Amino acid sequence: MRNQVALGMRRLSIIDLTGGHQPMSGCDGAVTIVFNGEIYNYRELQRGLEPHGHQFKTHSDTETIVHAYEEYGAACVEHLRGMFAFAVWDARKRELFLARDRAGKKPLYYTITPGGTLIFGSELKSLREHPEFVGEINVEGLDAYLTFGYVPDPLTIFRDVHKLPPGCHLTFKDGCVRVEQYWDFPYEHEQQNPARSEADCLEELRTLLDEAVRLRLEADVPLGAFLSGGVDSSTVVGLMTRHMSQPVKTFSIGFHEDSYNELKYARIAAKQFGTDHHELIVTPDICEKVDELVWHFDEPFADSSAIPTYVVSKLARQHVKVVLSGDGGDELFAGYTRYALDRKRSAFAHLPRLVRQGVMQPLGRNLPHGAWGRNYLHNVALDPLDRYIEDVSIFTRLNKSALYTDDFRQHLGASDAAARFREYAAHSRAHDPLDPLLYLDSKTYLPGDVLTKVDRMSMAASLEVRGPLLDHKLIEFVCTQIPASMKMKGLETKHIFKRAVRDLVPAEILNRPKQGFGIPIDRWINEQLRERVRGTLTEPRTMQRGYVEPRYVNLLLDENQRGRRDHAGELWALFMLELW
């Protein structure tokens, strides 16, 4: 703490265990950093900085950022290859510089207090410790959460508290904040060479995949991998075996419920690659940990796959301190089944708008709440982009009209949770309708849900997770050189990715149906968690908050319990909100 500036850090030591302590300053002490993450090209950067007079006292990637900032200023981020959120205090300029990595792997929150102090941190709970933190609920953030199951960047659940968006940096000087974007997923133009053959793309794609994995094997501690049995994690493990002298330590979890259990495929991959494999079966008693998980997220978070992510992180931490994962492959290579569903429903867009909006939508609205076909009619009657946004929503516009109280709607005013999503999709000017959806998911669901879940649950176990499929050089190649038609052929998702790894990944895994990393939450809500969920959602304190209609919540509970409709996702979102 110096000159009204305080920097603090709690470190998970991965590289240069003894010399990488933080906060860390440059040679003359004018530049000081706190840094969360890993820079994979730091040795290369050091070699480039030394001829310019920079002298290194440690072997840490943290010190490399300090010298890169001294040399390049804000442009230092353009030289970094890795995952990061960091703050640099420049005593000469009396300026604070914050930056977040390109994909949003590492979190960074900030706010300016009523007294004009900028406070920031990797967790909201650290901001809440400041005596001037207000903590008023942000109704726009709450609406976004109930719509999508997470609070998307740059919103948070608290008013006037922000997430620094991925690919952005922030400068704070003389009481003023300036946020600038330095990188984005390059979907804004058509591919640079649309005539390029698939064979040419495959060769370079394989090279970049291998390089991305190899770079992430740098560590001074034991290292392993998550292995779900899907194409992405199997690819990562297969590539790791090429560069490691010992068997890769792999970690998988399963369930007694067959429809959620992927252990069969994880074992196939483990056998193929000769890994040192570890497994754990998740049982419903893990739900006793749900309050602990809510605490780690700091915001309401409705993705129930956080539970198995936490369990597999705890399992891995018993053996290693770093793991590689396959996160990001679905957004980059069009792996989600919802892309195929959207293509199936695209024919409805050819119906006259008068038919869709004048006949189909009113018919859907007027059907009883639990009637089969009500949500389907509403969905296919929408314009294509709105249809997709509703597909990724927990509470759609149709159902939020019954969920929200009049008072909450009045506070929201003209605010629309989907507006920013439409802006993102409009940013991509590519002709193929798939590209705007990939860009939208890369800007919202990837950082707001997937990477948030992985970071919080792994950090709760003191485990570092690295995602080679989110290497920015790989992303730039895929976005600018591989057309959407190669990512999804007809209704086949991840076409070119599967072709690229077909000599590496077992055929049983390549040809299996897509299966999400989830839990049997529908069964657990109706069985082991039934009394707690109902009790929590119907207690007087919950009913009196004024955001949701008690009658509608009871309707969801009753329809779900009777098996009339599956409302597990909606009930879990409301349950997580109340526990938060």
Q: Are residues 51 and 87 part of one domain?
A: yes
Rounded CA separation 169/123 (Å) = 17
Q: Is 254 helix (H, G, I), strand (E, B) or coil?
A: strand
Average pLDDT over residues 323-345: 95
pLDDT tens digit string along 39-85? 999 999 999 999 998 989 888 899 999 999 999 999 999 999 999 99
Q: Higher pLDDT residue, 414 or 27?
A: 414
CATH number, domain containing residue 105: 3.60.20.10
In a domain, 572, yes or no: yes
Range of the domain at 223: 198-284+299-335+437-510
Angle between helices 530-538 and 568-579 (to 10 degrees): 60
Same domain membership, residue 143 and residue 51: yes
- Among 484, 510, 536, where does a domain finish? 510
* Residue 160 shares a structural domain with residue 217: no
User: For residue range 247-276, what is the model confidence (pLDDT) as tens digits?
Assistant: 999 999 988 777 677 899 999 999 999 999
**Segment among 1-15, 71-85, 137-151, 218-232 with least mean pLDDT:** 1-15
Whether residues 88 and 31 fall in one domain: yes
Which CATH number covers residue 444?
3.40.50.620
**In this predicted structure, what is the pLDDT of residue 27?**
75
529 and 569 share one domain: yes
Q: Is residue 358 included in any domain, yes or no?
A: no
Boundary residue ending a domain (181, 207, 222) = 181
> Is residue 474 in a domain?
yes
pLDDT digits (tens, 9 = 90+) for 466-515: 999 999 999 999 999 999 999 999 999 999 999 999 999 999 999 988 77
Query: Do 221 and 83 reside in the same domain of the chain?
Result: no
Same domain, 88 and 235: no
Per-residue pLDDT at 17 exceeds 70: no
Residue 68 placed within a domain: yes
Answer yes or no: is pLDDT of 334 > 60. yes
Is residue 116 over pLDDT 70? yes
Q: How many domains does the chain have?
A: 3
Distance from C-alpha of 283 to C-alpha of 292, rounded to nearest angstrom: 17
- In terms of domains, do 445 and 305 share one? yes
Confidence check: pLDDT of 132 > 70? yes
Same domain, 84 and 159: yes
Tens digit of each residue's pLDDT (9 = 90 or more) over 282-319: 887 787 888 999 999 999 999 999 999 999 999 999 99
Q: How far apart are CA 188 and CA 436, in angstroms?
A: 9
d(CA 262, CA 12): 31
In a domain, 267, yes or no: yes
* Same-domain check for residues 459 and 316: yes
76 and 109 in a common domain: yes
Indicate if 177 and 139 belong to the same structural domain: yes
The least confident of 150-159, 246-255, 360-369, 435-444 is 360-369
Q: 369 with 402: CB under 8 angstroms? A: yes
Judge whether 348 lies within some domain. Answer: no
Please give the pLDDT value at position 352: 87
Does 99 map to a domain?
A: yes
| Rounded Cα–Cα distance for residues 45 and 40 (Å) | 10
Please choose, from the candidates 74, 76, 12, 75, the residue with its C-alpha nearest in 3D space to the C-alpha of residue 63.
76
